[in-house]
Structure 1
Amino acid sequence: MLTIIPKPTDIPSDNSTRMVMDELDRMGYPYKVRFLEAIDPFSDDLSNETIWICGIRQNGHNFESLQALSLKNRIINSPEAIVTCASKVMTSALLIKNNVPTPKTFFTESKIIAGNFIKKFSRAVSKPVYGFDGVGIHLVEKLNDLGDPPYYLQEYIPNDRDFRVFVIGNRAVGAIMRVSDHLTHNIHQGGCGFAIEIPEEMERIAVQAAKCVGVDYGGVDLLCYNGSYTVLEVNGTPNWHCMQAPIPKFLAEYLISQVK
């Protein structure tokens, strides 16, 4: 049986969970809807099932409940993958370990050492370790631009756009280019998205990035860099705004294949 845990931030005008459930309904495939806050992971209520987590709240209860549920069920995406993607530090570490192109990255609690990184590259991009939707990302050019530690910094790569590639089961199924006139091009920060064809090199790097962080499906964000692409991050509970590809249908088909 397929169990679906809806995204807590779904709203009537932007309901990711409902889009996939509509596709399952069209296919005549049965499923149950449960809410994480109402599940006791120590009971036998959920066992030997496939559970799709459309999205979670980044808090201890949600993460710990998923970890416990994963001992008796197949979770998509796995708790480990969701936690990895939630942490920019761990995502960067895995990208670097697996030789996936990614900007030069630095992480420290020392403001002085962080300042040396900024001097080396003239400017850097500061990001919250557990950020989302492009919130809290800003350019730093001197020591006083830094806030409170810890400091997760990446080299600044000049750009006027970025790309999101949607990967399902080690296959790139859709992509958009996001454009804005400021540092972050995230749709939630005012960026405009346009569906694009996926170049072979972009697909190869995006699939490699999704694979190394362990997601069944994910949104891989990239920049153009030195004639190729570099990965900024991987989203483990991604939206598919502006994509022309039928992502909900692809996701529904993938979930059915995993139950079987």
Structure 2
Amino acid sequence: MTDTVGWHCRRLQDALQARGMVGHCVDLSACRIDTTVSWHGLQLPGFDDALPQAVIVRAVAGGTFEQVTKRLGVLHALNDLGVPVYNSPRAIEHSVDKSATSVRLHAAGIPTPPTWATESPAEAERIVVREAAAGRAVVVKPLFGSQGKGLALAGWVNGAYQALPPLATSLYGGMAYLQRYLPPVSEPGFDWRVLVIGGQAVGAMRRVSRHWVHNIAQGARAERQPLTPELAELAERATAALGLDYAGVDLMAARLGPQGPTDLQVLEVNGVAAWQGLQQVMDQPLAPLIVNDLIDRKMAQHGPAIRIARHRP
């Protein structure tokens, strides 16, 4: 499932072909619920009244609340029908909503920067003022954003007070999701992206940038990074807390100790993670790891699909 047929889809299709399967790229926005054409009530482009053996969710395109609800509803229906969905729709919901992610990480005892989510502009402004009074800044993030888009700093920024941006816009949707800003521990600054597949961390990279936003999509460069036990353990715990089959986990160091960066914090967990940047600094192909985990673990656990009985009139 993807809204763009590109690099990732081709790599997944190649890996599926190597396992004797055929991968079809389908846009969730083109999937319909139609109770007149099939016994299961779904219509997926290219499948007539049949169902796929499994689904890999590569991307869920943005849209209105109603559109996204329908797209996730299709994934829920497939999951309920016994089709292995990788990642599950419930796990995607937990990871795409940053506030839900923060609550689950905190409850699991996973270190993250202090975080707030509120619908009250006045309360959000009080948080920003309080943080600024302590000489700190906060990162303002869209609740459903990705790839570093729409991030802003508020509070004490570059020696002056920076007010909260207007929240009543399509970007923030009247919500304030605030996360305490972690200053870089080096120049240029960096964070880590760790890819976890089937509960196991398989690779990591440094995302380096002179800008405070470290996403590859915002101009950061990818550098090789050994997968240390500390990075792997924290990324695996974060992925498990959200129930994800595969995830891209973003981590940052809160301080620099004598032996290097310390006090690792989880910034975000991406349940529809891209891995093109990571692949550039890794020798091992990553798409086959995803496909193998889907086939050998997830599909094997599900067994025959279709748990809901077909009802005839």
The answer to whether structure 1 residue 145 and structure 2 residue 200 are counterparts is no
Equivalent residue runs for 1:103-252 within 5 Å: 103-122=113-132, 123-141=137-155, 142=161, 144-148=163-167, 149-159=174-184, 160-226=189-255, 227-243=262-278, 244=282, 245-252=284-291
Q: Partner of 2:90 in structure 1?
A: 80
Q: Partner of 1:8 in structure 2?
A: 3
- CA gap of 1:212–1:119, structure 2 versus 1, over 3 A, is same
1: CA distance, partners of 2:140 / 2:22: 42
1: CA distance, partners of 2:128 / 2:249: 26
Q: Partner of 2:109 in structure 1?
A: 99
SS of aligned partner of 2:277:
coil
1: CA distance, partners of 2:220 / 2:12: 25
Contact 2:108-2:241 within 8 A present in 1 as well: yes
More deviation, 192-201/242-251: 242-251
Instruction: Give TM-score, length-normalised by structure 2.
Output: 0.75
- CA gap of 1:247–1:119, structure 2 versus 1, over 3 A, is same
Unpaired stretches in structure 1, ≥5 consecutive residues: none
Structure with max Cα Rg? 2
Contact 2:58-2:272 within 8 A present in 1 as well: yes
CA drift of 1:9 comes to: 2.4
Instruction: Give TM-score, length-normalised by structure 1.
Output: 0.89
1: CA distance, partners of 2:80 / 2:265: 35
Contact 2:8-2:276 within 8 A present in 1 as well: no
CA drift of 1:163 comes to: 0.8
Contact 1:21-1:252 within 8 A present in 2 as well: no
SS of aligned partner of 2:179:
strand
1: CA distance, partners of 2:193 / 2:19: 31
Q: Partner of 2:77 in structure 1?
A: 68
Contact 2:12-2:23 within 8 A present in 1 as well: no
SS of aligned partner of 2:95:
helix
2: CA distance, partners of 1:92 / 1:28: 37
Contact 1:41-1:68 within 8 A present in 2 as well: no
Report percent identity of matched pairs.
31
Unpaired stretches in structure 2, ≥5 consecutive residues: 41-48, 63-67, 156-160, 168-173, 256-261, 301-313
Residue 29 of structure 1, aligned match among 20, 25, 28: 20
2: CA distance, partners of 1:209 / 1:39: 33
Aligned length: 251
What letter is aligned with 1:9? Answer: T
